[in-house]
Chain A
Amino acid sequence: MTRGDAPPKHGSTRKRLLTGAAAAGAGLVLPGATGSALASVFRAPKKSGALYVDLELESPSFNPLLNNYQHLRWVTDQVNETMYVYQGAKIVPLLADGMPKVIDQLNAQVKVKSGIKFNNGHPLTAADVAATFNAARGGVAAAIWKSHLQPLASVTAIDSHTVHFTFKQPWGLLLEKMADIPIVPASAVNVNEKLPGTGPFIFENHVQGQSVTLAANPHYRLGAPKLSQIVFRFVPDAGTRTVNILSGQTHVSPAIPYPNVTQLAKNHKLNVYDVPAPVDLLFWISSQAVPDVRARQALAYAIDRKAVVDTVFGGHAEIGQGPIGPAILGYQYTTKPYGPKPDLTKAKSLLQAAGGGSLSFDYISTTDQVSQTMAQIIAQNWQALGVNVNLQFLELAAWQNSWLSGNWGATCITSLDGVAVGPSPFIATATIQSTNFLDLEKFKDPQVDQDLANAYVTPNGPRQWKYYADASNRSATEVGQLPPAFPNFCVATSKKVHGLPTKPLTQGKLNFYPVSLA
């Protein structure tokens, strides 16, 4: 309409105009409003190549040096790679150029592959590797990695592609530590998120309390991934995660509740992967609270391991016979002193031989369903033996404080250690070493200490695994760390998810590089 024209005469025309304008405005505004991070994250997955993964917890940091829990590593492993990786029991180069060169017992060198770049375009150099390891052994990440790298004296970049490692003592674990610790740029060792990486995905966005989004790295050296995006959503409630995977709201649900595994496996829209993995059930009976080994053995014989496997893990677990489980290197050398059912006769006679009397101690457990249920079963088993068990359920932070205080008789926590250390027995056996500050159960056995010391100076291979296994077997009979079961790693995926590699699952790892969506 021009200025000289008369205004519309009909109210209905104006009404239609206003209605149309309102509709157009709503059409512009509403998608914007619903395109907010909150709403878009919780829409049903689109067919755009974006993979949705539900995680139980949000990590406080997305720097893999500062935290090594699975909830973090499932995200950062898509972005930051390691120098070496496990392929089954073998460790092979990834960012490294060949195997380490051993100069002498206290020195070794590793070459970095040429031509690899971080996703910000900067080349990967030896300086980045040195900075990563120095941060881990004594810098910002020492709280997590120092105990893994104690024998490491120094790490230096002697040229752009050569890293020199010096040890305080002969050390055989360098190769496996280089398979554990992801490499970050030297300039980003203490950055919490959006770290550049050499991996197939780029850290794109993090919405606190909602999700973290990774975008495909089009310049990844092995070719761009098939997925355009991965959206990791934080869904703390196990029931909600199960509903999400059943209803198609999410594509991947790692660590699904064990009681639901069988039901989900029967669903024709889902694939359920149920594999032994290094899911460590760190279960300790305190040598301080129960100093007589016969009393500890009595407690061990009184545990109904089959009930733990069937009731707590829905049958998706193996009976435990020591710290080393079926997915951990060295398992083939483990002995099996304990049966699936409790042997109360033997337990009572051992308790009698230990002097009879009444045992009484605290069993502290975290409040998650697995730990609570297991604690109730084991406490009941011990009460049948005449032991007075005071069960305490504590939130994680309170549990950690209590655990560190050492004022308990028995305790347990679950840890998907394979994500951080692959199938290495290092973490599973660390706490039975009397010189390790994490030996809070005060277990002390010279033979175990010797076996572990031998393992640490022996390179990765059957000889090393045998030392670990001997330590584990001794821990089982002397009752230091003695988990009743080793749960499987159970992952549910939509049938639209293709190409998920299953080998990494045996380490509790998720590799989304080859994955595509139907």
Chain B
Amino acid sequence: MLDGGSATVALHLPSTRWASVRHTARTVAASLNRNWLTRIGVLLTAAFILAALIGPLVAENPLALTSSTLQPPTWAHPFGTDNLGRDLLARSLSGARVSLFVAIMSVALGLIIALPVGLTAGFLGGTWVDDLLMGVTDVILALPLFVLALFVLGITGTGGFTVAGIAFGPAWKVVGLIGISAMPFFARVARAAALVERQEDYVNALRVVGVPRRRIVWGEILPNVLPPVIVQAFLWMAIAIFAEAGLSFLGLGIQPPSPTLGNILANASSTLLLGAWWFSVFPGVLLVVAIVGLNLVGDGLNDLLDPQVR
């Protein structure tokens, strides 16, 4: 309705509203259920998340040293004990929680930075703004994560840091590194989707009636850009878990005695010759469950949302 006395315009464009997002989500859930591989992925991911969230609440203290060093699995210690007598089940579950935290927060950070960059670049595609933004993301893309980590951690160390009086633990450094590494991937996907959306009739119609650009981008284009970005987010969560484990394995991530799946495996590597198979197998399996699960879910989403595959 047009009100002659003001510039307020009420628009009802059902295909671009948030309702469509909810509809999409329901469709996705139903479609995921049809693909058995994706179902497996959902189960594995759910198991990992459950273990990470609830496990540390019910398991023993992961830092408690005992004299029962390198004991094989028993009822008292289902995953066995490590070289300092610490319960491996407790440490693995705590490590899983750290991995989950790093995965979620790094992906969230990547999205927070990438979405404005990608949407802006896509909406203003072909202009100097697009070139500048994509140039910056390409520079970040060219930096391998582990090289970036070596550089940053070599200068700043592996401990925590303080920004504006707020203290951040060492996990936040890892979150920052992985988030920045993930950003270019999200930005490019968002840009590509935005480039397509800005050609759509509804966007032109919104422009014609004078809707501000910011509202078009965030209110109308964003919901349609989200699906492919969410697919990337799932795939990147798996990468983030792997990257965090890799950094910790190399001694660049979260340091002992705080358990992470990576630093547990790093400790375990020196005990393989002693026959302590449990030290590396159980945390390794947990890592595999997380990475495979998230990858399968991401693949399932990708197949669902890719019109060619559909």
Contacts and interface: CB of A to CB of B under 8 A. Distances in A.
Given A238-B270, A239-B273, A377-B65, A259 B83 contact: yes
Contact of A380 (B65, B67, B251, B273): B65
B265 to A, nearest CB: 13
A380 B157 contact: no
Given A367-B251, A377-B84, A380-B63, A260 B273 contact: yes
Contacts of A377: 65, 84
Contacts of A394: 157
A307 B69 CA distance: 10
A242 B273 contact: yes
7 A-B pairs with the lowest CB-CB distances in the bound complex, closest first: A376-B257, A393-B255, A367-B251, A380-B65, A242-B273, A311-B69, A369-B270
B158 interface: yes
Contacts of A259: 83, 270-271, 274
Contacts of A260: 273-274
A393 B266 CA distance: 14
Contact of A373 (B63, B83, B157, B251): B83
Nearest to B159: A392
A23 interface: no
B78 interface: no
Nearest to A304: B65
B269 interface: yes
Nearest to B255: A393
Given A390-B159, A393-B251, A393-B255, 16 more contacts: A246-B273, A259-B83, A259-B270, A263-B273, A310-B67, A311-B83, A311-B84, A311-B85, A373-B84, A376-B256, A377-B84, A379-B257, A380-B257, A391-B256, A393-B158, A393-B256
A369 B67 CA distance: 18
A369 B157 CA distance: 19
Contacts of A392: 157-159, 255
Q: How large is the interface on A (under 10, 10 to 19, 20 to 34, 35 or more residues)?
A: 20 to 34
A24 interface: no
Interface of A is mostly: helix
Chain B CB count within 10 A is highest, among A242, A372, A390, for A372
A372 B269 CA distance: 15
Contacts, number: 56
A45 interface: no
B272 interface: yes
A243 interface: yes
Contacts of A372: 256
18 contacts: A239-B269, A242-B273, A243-B273, A246-B273, A259-B83, A260-B273, A311-B84, A311-B85, A369-B270, A376-B65, A377-B65, A380-B63, A380-B65, A391-B256, A391-B257, A393-B158, A393-B251, A398-B157
Interface of B: 63, 65, 67, 69, 83-85, 157-159, 251, 255-257, 267, 269-274
Contacts of B69: 310-311
Contact of A263 (B158, B255, B274): B274
Contacts of A369: 267, 270
Interface in A80-116: none
B87 to A, nearest CB: 14
A242 B269 CA distance: 12
A311 B271 CA distance: 13
Given A259-B83, A376-B257, A398-B157, A307 B269 contact: no
A404 to B, nearest CB: 16
A459 interface: no
Nearest to B160: A390
Nearest to A264: B273
A257 B272 CA distance: 12
A394 B255 CA distance: 10
A239 B269 CA distance: 8
Given A259-B83, A259-B274, A391 B67 contact: no
B247 to A, nearest CB: 13
Contacts of B63: 380
A23 B269 CA distance: 43
A380 B86 CA distance: 12
B65 A257 contact: no
Contacts of B158: 392-393
A376 to B, nearest CB: 5
